[in-house]
Amino acid sequence: MYQYLRGRRAIVFGLADVLLVALSLWLAFALRFDGALPLEYQGRFLYYFLILAALNVVFLSRERLYSFAWEFVSLKELTRLFRAVTYANVVFALIIFVLRENTVLFAGFPRSIIFINYFLNLIFVGGVRIAKRVWHETVRRRPISDAPRALIVGADSEGEHLIRDLLRAGGNSPFPIAIIDHRKERVGTSIHGVRVLGGIEIIPEAVKTHNIEHVIVALAAAEADTIREAVKYAREAGVKNIKIIPDTHELLTGRVTLTDFREIEIEDLLGRNPAKIETQKISEFVRDKTVLITGAAGSIGSELSQQTMAFGPKTLVLLDSNESDLYDLHMELLRSYPAKNLHSVVANIVNRDKMFKIIKKISPDVIFHAAAYKHVPLMEDFPDEAVETNLFGTLNVAEAAIRSRVPKFVLISTDKAINPTSVMGKTKRAAEIVTQELNKKGITRFVSVRFGNVIGSRGSVVPLFKEQIKSRSPLTVTHPDMTRYFMTIPEAALLVMEAGAAGEGGEIFMLDMGKPVKILEVAKEMIRLAGLRPDVDIPIVFIGIRPGEKIFEEVVSDEERRVGQTQWDKILITKNQNSKSSESVGENLRNLKSALAGGAEKTAAALDRFVV
């Protein structure tokens, strides 16, 4: 019977409202006339009730308050309810005042009844709905003894939503016992009856006092330093189950909720504040547009593809020379976005004629150029391949874009292009120079976006360390002082798109990478995350700096000046003061093309002359 009625929520609430309107109107008369309904109104009461009940149902339906699950009622729904009841009673009052002098039905109707009924109407109709949430959060609240005891870190909106969801959850979900927050003003307050005990430093004491089994970090918008401190204190307290809520970009997709918390990962601890992504600007940039992504099957390219699809392009074209990974990406995107217009193209960007044909056929509005060789030590041995792909491949795609009048071309660059010492860094710097020069020709606007190491990308240190930990092998670090800037793949992709939307042409955007992190500390932290002890369970060995590597990566070169902050968080602009002349760029390109035929040494020498 309960399930039958639950499936007919609108009918049940509609009937309840009709009865509550009758009750509030009768009580209004009773209060006005000392508990009795005068004889002169007894014959008319039914008509008053029918008019008022109809008005209430009409306006409540208009506000769509019969299609809402009231166990999740919030201030927004209560505002709509207030508006509906107010409208109903205002219309009822207007009917009375217009017809009061002309009809027997409303003759002598007491004006005070209108106001008394209005307030009773609000109390009854609103109260029955609020009662459902009170029931779910108090009477139906599961006993603490039935579930693992959890300590929530974070008393902001994320923490509030998480606690509310956990209190409603059943089964073996963690039960929130207390809250920890790093802001002093929150200490002593309560969220849904769960008290904020104190700052991060009291986690060990709270764990001991309240027999905590789980620590859940609800700090999606907080500094990574705070997360790192919370994890450190939780470990010291002996807590084995330390979790964190999903990232913002995962929540935006709608495929996960706050209660789908996950294990703490190295990305959460690398000391970088998350950017405030201007998603509306990105949406305007790619929605209903034809977007081409080169190098789509790579780490950055595949994430760009995922994020682009989420913003609803007219068509997305994936281009890569790796057909296996391209196929896998295509099928993954089709599973997530089955109704989208998606195409894959197997091609190599060094094939100039093919690039011109493909781009002419596609006629894209935006090109994200992510295709490149990026492995620093490997490219030291093959400078000719690096130049062919990273420079001349870029030139092929860029000139094809100009020919086909593509509005925007976004070059994915690297912080290794700043005062480059490696072949890879030099080729990317040369590509920046070339696209800046091409920005002067045609209608295509060229922008470059630089960023540092992307956590989890192919060839980066994090996947290497994971494999070494898995096999219980020593973790290999090149130098004790080796530092790098780190960024997560999803954030890097979104910031690239945001910078592309912001660029007017000719800029080199730098993504604010936060604080540099020692690779040695990354290694130690990853060992701890695996539940092991650095240099006890797994040793760390130093193997020496590899060819082309720097100990410290730079943020900006001496030849560049920072124009300043953009209006977009984490995106900076640089301009090169000593830009090369068109003649110099053309001559260097011709020299490099000739050097390619002479082998690796001649190519490397010509590349050096280009970027000096």
* Average confidence score pLDDT of the chain: 83
Please name which of 463, 481, 480, 486 lies closest in space to residue 535, comparing C-alpha atoms: 480
pLDDT score of 379:
92
Contact in structure between 556 and 418 (CB atoms under 8 Å): yes
Reply yes or no on whether the pLDDT at 557 is more than 70.
no
Is the CA virtual torsion 376, 498, 409, 368 positive or negative?
positive
Alpha helices in 169-294 (DSSP H): 203-209, 224-236, 248-253, 279-286
How far apart are alpha carbons 62 and 195 in whole angstroms?
39
Contact in structure between 223 and 273 (CB atoms under 8 Å): yes
Question: Which tokens in the block code for residue 180?
Answer: 């920890």
Please name which of 518, 458, 451 lies closest in space to residue 491, comparing C-alpha atoms: 451
Within its chain, how far is the Cα of 261 from the centroid? 15
Reply yes or no on whether the pLDDT at 578 is more than 60.
no
Reply yes or no on whether the pLDDT at 313 is more than 70.
yes
How far apart are alpha carbons 485 and 513 in whole angstroms?
6
Contact in structure between 337 and 306 (CB atoms under 8 Å): no
Which has more confidence, 102 or 143? 102
pLDDT score of 4:
40
How far apart are alpha carbons 217 and 179 in whole angstroms?
10
DSSP letter at 538 equals B
Reply yes or no on whether the pLDDT at 398 is more than 70.
yes
Which H or E element spans position 171?
Answer: none
Q: What is the CA radius of gyration of the chain?
A: 32
Which residue bears the tokens 């994890």?
Answer: 231
Q: Can you give the length of the chain in residues? A: 612
How far apart are alpha carbons 131 and 119 in whole angstroms?
17
Reply yes or no on whether the pLDDT at 368 is more than 90.
yes
- Tell me the CA distances in angstroms from 232 to 70, 209, 462, one per residue in order: 40, 18, 20
3-state class of 138 per DSSP? Answer: helix
Alpha helices in 366-460 (DSSP H): 376-381, 383-386, 394-403, 423-438
Reply yes or no on whether the pLDDT at 70 is more than 70.
no
Contact in structure between 135 and 125 (CB atoms under 8 Å): no
Q: What residues are labeled active site? A: 416
Lowest mean pLDDT among 77-81, 91-95, 572-576, 587-591: 572-576
Q: What's the pLDDT tens digit per position in 446-470? A: 999 987 777 766 667 888 888 899 8
pLDDT score of 560:
46
Winning range, highest mean pLDDT, from 372-381, 399-408, 457-466: 399-408
Please name which of 298, 311, 425 lies closest in space to residue 365, comparing C-alpha atoms: 311
Which residue bears the tokens 């970090």?
Answer: 217
What residue ranges define each of the domains in the chain, with the CATH number in brackets?
2-139 (no CATH), 144-264 (3.40.50.720), 279-587 (3.40.50.720)
Reply yes or no on whether the pLDDT at 5 is more than 50.
no
Is the CA virtual torsion 337, 343, 348, 350 positive or negative?
negative
Winning range, highest mean pLDDT, from 146-150, 257-261, 554-558: 146-150
Reply yes or no on whether the pLDDT at 492 is more than 70.
yes
3-state class of 269 per DSSP? Answer: helix
3-state class of 442 per DSSP? Answer: coil
Contact in structure between 592 and 603 (CB atoms under 8 Å): yes
Contact in structure between 167 and 190 (CB atoms under 8 Å): no
- Paired with 449 in beta bridges are 412, 509
Max Cα distance, the chain (Å): 112
136 burial class (0-12, 13-18, 19+ CB within 10 angstroms)?
A: middle
How far apart are alpha carbons 537 and 474 in whole angstroms?
9
Contact in structure between 304 and 370 (CB atoms under 8 Å): yes
pLDDT score of 277:
61
Within 13 Å and on the Cβ side, how many CA atoms surround 605? 9
Contact in structure between 334 and 342 (CB atoms under 8 Å): yes
Reply yes or no on whether the pLDDT at 577 is more than 50.
no
Query: Which residues of 45-141 form beta strands (DSSP E)?
Result: none
* Residues 6+ away with beta carbon under 8 Å from 86: 118
Please name which of 410, 324, 306, 319 lies closest in space to residue 362, comparing C-alpha atoms: 319
478 burial class (0-12, 13-18, 19+ CB within 10 angstroms)?
A: middle
Tell me, letter by letter, the H, E, C secondary structure of 453-507.
Answer: EEECCCCCHHHHHHHHHHCCCCEEECCCCCEECEEEHHHHHHHHHHHHHHCCCCC
Which residue bears the tokens 């009854």?
Answer: 124
How far apart are alpha carbons 460 and 454 in whole angstroms?
7
Q: What's the pLDDT tens digit per position in 204-236? A: 999 999 999 999 988 864 467 788 888 889 988
Identity at 181, one-letter amino acid code: D
Lowest mean pLDDT among 235-249, 335-349, 429-443, 450-464: 450-464
Lowest mean pLDDT among 298-302, 398-402, 456-460: 456-460
* Residues 6+ away with beta carbon under 8 Å from 558: 419
How far apart are alpha carbons 301 and 46 in whole angstroms?
69
Please name which of 251, 486, 496 lies closest in space to residue 366, comparing C-alpha atoms: 496
pLDDT score of 7:
43
